[in-house]
Amino acid sequence: MEAEVVTPQPKSEVVEVKKSKIAIIGRKIRKDWQLYTLLVLPIIYLLIFKYGPMIGNVIAFRKFVPGGSIYGEQWVGLHYFNMFINDPTFWNVFKNTLTLGALGLVFTFPMPIIFALLLNEIRSEKFKKFVQTASYLPHFLSIVIVAGMILQLTAVNGSINALVKFFTGDTISFMQQAEWFRTVYITSEIWQGMGWGAILYLAALTTIDQSLYEAAKIDGANRWKQTLHITIPGILPTIVTLLILNIGSFMAVGFEKVLLLYNPLTYETSDVISTYLYRVGLESNNFSYATAIGLFESIIGLVLVLSANTISRKLTDRSLW
Amino acid sequence: MQESIQYKIFKVFNVSILLLIIFLTLYPFLNVVAQSFSSEAAISSGEVNLFPKGFNIDTYKTVVADSMFWINYKNTVVYTVVGTAISMVMTTMFAYALSKRRLVGRKALTVFAVFTMFFNGGLIPNYVLINSLGMGNTMWAIVIPGAISIYNMLIMKSFFENMPEELEEAAAIDGLSQYGILLKIVLPLSKAVMATMILFYAVAHWNSWFPAFLYLDQKEMFPVTIYLRNMIAGATGTAAAGATSADNLTQLAANIKSVTMVLTILPILTIYPFVQKHFVNGVMLGSIK
């Protein structure tokens, strides 16, 4: 309708056309003003509580005095960044963060896939349902409860040590020894996430065309071959998508869990970037220094997400956006 | 259909593995329950695994009689209800407006929201902000900063997007305002996704402890997760050391943690069988995006 009005206009009246475009947009906005009122509170919320702290990161470059301006007092340039680059503790926690992230990718990530494949071979729907329902349960626990359970199970008089004692005659104080922290952490991650993580794989498995299996059977492929050539390729897109997500959150190790489980005896392996900056910032009141470390971590996180996404789009044509 | 011997062997092996997985998944729960009913002496000598030893309910009586436990428990309920209500109102408004394809600025606003999923301000700037807003030591520090989960908002948005547009057109002809359409037409048709969202938010609030740990100083305001956290942190290493007699206090020290854990998980365990399918639906909806 608008086009009819616009087309016969000579070129000299482009301005008029632009005006009418703006008028159309204006009319659209006016017509939907009620929708915009719905947006007011959410946008204010995002500005204050999400973008506010992002701007608050300027204190990484400014001297901050508790009780003073939340944006700091004066510029100090890269002072705090130089500080952590020359801080040996920082490099240790950086290494620990990478190690836990890498161990997570190698050990935690494949577990839901294996679990889903095993579950896929079960014919009894009832048994399948039961196993699945039970496997989600740990996902719904507060991390405080999870930590409580871990401490209880790994205690010197706990169940794991009952087994250790049975086989070796001795006990291990798991949570007091740096060399055990990673094992305990990764095992508990698997415990918490395996069942829940399998949901999407199980859903993908149900979408595989059953006639493919029939055809394979006629060709004489056994169940293992079918798994290798039909099942796994069938869920590969899901695996790739979740792998990108995982690589993207590589650095985001479970801050709350580490905070609840670690102690000075295990700092050597358990202390990660987020727990270190927590202590530097909130226990030693060195806000600017902690913010600089946090900003560094956030930027690495962002770069990881963006590059994982780009690589995946180029290699597999799949991306998150 | 014929099956090879190998596949039959595999099936037996597979069922055994899955049973073992389920046993290991449930074991920590069983262990906590067993310890909560056991005597202090049996726990500290490491005899309590699957079943209670020296059965008693003394610690349950003690914890239930502790008024601070109930004050904190009540706080958890209040924070969960208020927090979930705020989250639902905010998320619904946001998701509904963004679900309208004709909305001018829709794309930019979506990017504006999604960006916060991948880049956040970090611990210290958040802490400074909340305290400078005067929200420290108030309930608002617990229920406001996490009000909108962008992930949940996107799930809801994609659900609204899939609703037939004719519904809304018909409603508009009947003279309903945008608010009327949302409240009287869209929401009644979205019960399933709303139930899922309420559960997502409620469980997150119920389980949350860190904001309370960061922003609250007064015991009377703590949620039960902090009650438990302080017990775990305080009792580490000392519980076993104090265990000399079967007196009531040492009984307390040894298994009070287990009792508190059981009482905290209980509501989740009770509703879990009935609501777990909603969670699964939520994950599926989320993956469509």
- Is B140 inside any structural domain? yes
pTM: 0.87
Residues of chain A with CATH 1.10.3720.10: 79-316
For the domain spanning A79-316, the CATH number is 1.10.3720.10
Residue pair B261/B225 in contact by the 8 Å Cβ criterion: no
pLDDT surpassing 70 at residue A2: no
- Is B16 inside any structural domain? no
Q: Which residues of B230-266 are buried (b: 16+ CB within 10 A; e: fewer)?
A: ebbeebeeebbebbeeeeeebbbbbbbbbbbbbbbbe
As a whole number, the mean pLDDT across chain A is 88
The answer to whether B238 contacts chain A (CB < 8 Å) is: no
Taking only the tens place, the pLDDT of each residue in A41-85 is 999 999 999 999 999 999 999 988 877 788 888 898 899 999 889
Domain that holds residue B137: 66-288
Q: How far apart are CA B34 and CA B40, in angstroms?
A: 12
Return the amino acid letter for A28: K
Alpha-carbon torsion, ordered B198, B199, B200, B205, to 10 deg: 90
- How many contiguous H segments (helices) and E segments (strands) does chain A have? 18, 2
Q: Which of A27-31, B21-25, B79-83 has the lowest mean pLDDT?
A: A27-31
Compare CB distances from A121 to B14, B43, B264 and report the shortest one's residue: B14
pLDDT for res A89: 93
Opening angle at CA A22, ends A19 and A28, nearest 5: 145
Q: Find residues 54-73 of chain B whose CB sits inside 8 Å of chain A.
A: none
Contact residues on chain A for B113, CB-CB shorter than 8 A? 42, 46
Contact B279 A136 (CB under 8 A): yes
Q: Which CATH number goes with the domain that contains B247?
A: 1.10.3720.10
Compare CB distances from B109 to A39, A165, A248 and report the shortest one's residue: A39
Q: H or E stretch including B202?
A: helix B191-207
**How many other C-beta atoms are found inside a 10 Å radius of the C-beta of residue A39?**
18
Contact B283 A199 (CB under 8 A): yes
Q: What DSSP string runs through A183-222?
A: HHHHHHHHHHHHHHHHHHHHHHHHTS-HHHHHHHHHTT--
ipTM: 0.87
Q: Note every long-range contact of A8-12, with CB atoms under 8 Å and residues 24 or more positions apart, other chains counting.
A: none
3-class secondary structure, A74: strand
pLDDT for res A11: 56
* Confidence band for A318, pLDDT divided at 50, 70 and 90: low
Compare CB distances from B7 to A191, A223, A301 and report the shortest one's residue: A223
- Is B197 inside any structural domain? yes
Q: How far apart are CA B53 and CA B179, in angstroms?
A: 60
Taking only the tens place, the pLDDT of each residue in A233-271 is 999 988 988 887 788 777 878 899 999 999 999 999 999
As a whole number, the mean pLDDT across chain B is 86
Q: How far apart are CA A151 and CA A168, in angstroms?
A: 21
Contact B103 A143 (CB under 8 A): no
Q: Could you tell me which of A260, A197, A207, A263 has the C-alpha nearest to residue A235?
A: A207
Q: How far apart are CA A308 and CA A241, in angstroms?
A: 10
Nearest chain B residue to A193, by CA: B25
The whole-angstrom distance between B134's CA and the closest CA on chain A is 12
pLDDT surpassing 80 at residue B238: no
* Confidence band for B54, pLDDT divided at 50, 70 and 90: confident
pLDDT surpassing 60 at residue B70: yes
Q: Find residues 169-228 of chain B whose CB sits inside 8 Å of chain A.
A: 177-179, 182, 203, 206-210, 214, 225, 228
- Is B18 inside any structural domain? no
Q: Determine whether B49 is exposed, middle or buried from the number of CB atoms within 10 Å of its CB (0-12, 13-18, 19+).
A: middle
The answer to whether B275 contacts chain A (CB < 8 Å) is: no
* Confidence band for B135, pLDDT divided at 50, 70 and 90: very high
The interaxial angle of helices B58-65 and B67-98, nearest 10 deg, is 70
> Tokens in use for B285?
């909806």
Q: For residue B154, what are the contacts with CB-CB under 8 A and spacing of at least 6?
A: B95, B114, B286, B289
Beta bridge partners of A74: A63
Alpha-carbon torsion, ordered A138, A143, A144, A150, to 10 deg: 60
Residue pair B105/A39 in contact by the 8 Å Cβ criterion: no
Nearest chain B residue to A288, by CA: B124
**How many other C-beta atoms are found inside a 10 Å radius of the C-beta of residue A286?**
19
Q: Which is higher by pLDDT, A126 or A314?
A: A126
> Tokens in use for B44?
């500290």
Positive or negative: CA dihedral A187, A188, A192, A197: negative
Beta bridge partners of A63: A74
What number of residues does chain A have? 321
* Confidence band for B74, pLDDT divided at 50, 70 and 90: very high
Contact A152 B264 (CB under 8 A): no
Contact A147 B232 (CB under 8 A): yes
Q: Could you tell me which of B128, B108, B117, B125 has the C-alpha nearest to residue A301?
A: B117
Total number of domains constituting chain B: 1
Q: Which is higher by pLDDT, A204 or A315?
A: A204
Compare CB distances from B28 to A29, A149, A282 and report the shortest one's residue: A149
pLDDT for res B118: 87
> Tokens in use for B134?
């005067």
Contact A151 B109 (CB under 8 A): no
Opening angle at CA A266, ends A262 and A267, nearest 5: 80
Q: Could you tell me which of A54, A140, A106 has the C-alpha nearest to residue A250?
A: A106
pLDDT surpassing 50 at residue B244: no
- Is B17 inside any structural domain? no
> Tokens in use for A8?
């016969």
- Is B60 inside any structural domain? no
Opening angle at CA B83, ends B184 and B158, nearest 5: 50
> Tokens in use for A80?
């705090």
* Confidence band for B272, pLDDT divided at 50, 70 and 90: confident
The whole-angstrom distance between A85's CA and the closest CA on chain B is 19
